Amino acid sequence: MILTDKQITNAIADGWIVIEPFRSECLGTNSYDVHLGKTLATYKDAVLDAREHNEIEYFEIPDEGIVLLPEKLYLGVTEEYTETHKHVPFLEGKSSVGRLGIDIHATAGKGDVGFCNTWTLEISVRQPVRIYAGMPIGQLIYFEASGEPSITYSKKPDAKYTTRSSRPIESMMFKNWDEVKQKWK
């Protein structure tokens, strides 16, 4: 079941959902609009290795915006910090963003119960497009979870994306590789 605007508001009042900053004008009928933060990142190396820590370079979006280019992956971040303690959040691109040929995530659109952070965006574009910090970039949709999880994401000892950040976070896939056993965890 997808939460409606009233249910999202009630869940915020009850502390089950946190959105900072919260702006009532961003609340849709059954979603909440999130905005592009001012920091982007790109990987330093042209070839990435899933077993290695691939480093990124950060840069700020200037006031006049920045043109994104096809065949380049950009990591962005939402302005909004969110917490979900009882619901499953999904991040989807806004249709207006999609109609500009901008994809905001490749595979990571679902959060977990207990996810508490900003959202790192995996941005790619179909043709050159200028973007701006603060522009609406996506929408969060909340689903009711059926039952309680045995452990929420923020309490898992092996959770890789729990450190609060206002900047995009690079892939931590390399943490799944066990050097000693030479296999994936």
The closest alpha carbon to 176, from 162, 161, 158, 164, belongs to 158
Give the tens place of pLDDT for each residue, 119-169.
Answer: 999 999 999 999 999 999 999 999 999 888 898 888 888 888 888 899 999
- Catalytic hit among 25, 52, 122, 148: 122
CATH of 5-45+55-147, one of 2.70.40.10, 3.40.47.10, 3.20.20.140, 3.40.50.2300: 2.70.40.10
Active site residue 122: yes
Task: List the domain boundaries for the chain.
Answer: 5-45+55-147
* Chain length of the chain: 185
Note whether 68 and 131 are within 8 A (CB).
yes
Give the tens place of pLDDT for each residue, 71-107.
Answer: 999 999 999 999 999 999 999 999 999 999 999 998 7
Note whether 141 and 40 are within 8 A (CB).
no
Note whether 32 and 94 are within 8 A (CB).
no
